[in-house]
Amino acid sequence: MDIGGNNVRLLTFIEFSMEHCYIKYIVSHAEYDKLTDYYRRNRE
C-alpha cells in the first residue's frame, strides 16, 4: 500500500478472531527504524 508517496510506514495490529485492525503508528522511515530497534531490544 502506498501511503504518503511511499514516504511513511504504517504499523498495525490485526486481531483476526475479532476481525479488527488497529493502527498503532504512522511514521517516517527513520522513526520506523527507531521503533523496530526498540521493539527488538524490549520484547515482552
Residue 24 has a pLDDT of: 93
pLDDT digits (tens, 9 = 90+) for 4-40: 788 899 999 999 999 999 999 999 999 999 999 998 9
pLDDT band at residue 1 under the 50/70/90 scheme: low
Distinct helix (H) and strand (E) counts, the chain: 1, 2
Asked if residue 44 has pLDDT above 70, the reply is: no
Question: Is 2 in a helix, a strand, or coil?
Answer: coil
Contact 20, 14 (CB under 8 A): yes
Look at the chain and report how many structural domains it folds into.
Answer: 1
Structural domain boundaries enclosing 25: 4-41
